[in-house]
Homo-oligomer: A and B are copies of this chain.
């Protein structure tokens, strides 16, 4: 089945979703950020998780939107914390309005996300909300670790992978598990799908790290090398630091954590060390590891092979994306 079949359902449902009327300053920012677009990956994964087991997707739509509202809530609050000026090329909410409006609108978005889960079958409500709440807390934990890492001297590769698992991957895992559970999947199958989603999520974030350094400026949509310029402790940098010779370590130390004189020179110098250490192929290998692990979990899920195809296609798109 074509992916647009699922995307169209999501687009239609989102366009009908209401968040509240007054005061305007509370609800207008919600409509604004939700209208900025994005790939709507989370509700898509929720529907595709359900599609493995059912054709009745209408009952899945509202909770699927709940995952998108929750995701946008995290973007809204993260943008305040990161002092980000732009989101999808448009002013962030705290820039367009102010930080107070962004805090409070975000709070209501989290409440609205919960409300979107309340229509699931009553017997499933406790388990769905328990899993959602755990996921939501983990996403916050991931964001806090990410902020901690900015000032931590030492961050291990294991700590980094755990951070991106919490901040990004567990929510994708939850979306798939949610869709499966709502469609009547067994606990075993729902768990396989959760792990499929988590693996894809980690691979997705590693792909992001890779694109920042090796992406095509024309298609990437962000400035290539931004992570290097801002000294972000990505998988690439941490791996390079762990494997560097004394000379390479000195080169890295000359640029990382130092005032930036010339951004282009810094990016070039750090990327040269990455190239010497084959960081690109090491990262690609790890991405592929997670991807293969994800596919194994999908294979083990008890559902018709042809129903797995859309999910496999989305996973592949996420792995091979250039932006």
Contact = CB atoms under 8 A, between A and B. Distances in A.
Interface of A is mostly: helix
Interface stretch (A7-15, A54-62, A128-136): A128-136
Interface residues of A, number: 38
Contacts of A257: none
Interface string A122-151: 110110011001001100110111011000
A104 interface: yes
B81 A104 contact: yes
A277 interface: no
A28 to B, nearest CB: 11
B125 A104 contact: no
A34 interface: no
Contacts of A108: 137, 140-141
Interface in A137-194: 137, 140-141, 143-145, 147-148
A20 B100 CA distance: 26
Contacts of A148: 23, 25
Interface in A65-110: 77, 80-81, 99-101, 103-104, 106-108, 110
Interface of A: 20, 22-23, 25-26, 77, 80-81, 99-101, 103-104, 106-108, 110-112, 114-115, 118, 122-123, 125-126, 129-130, 133, 136-137, 140-141, 143-145, 147-148
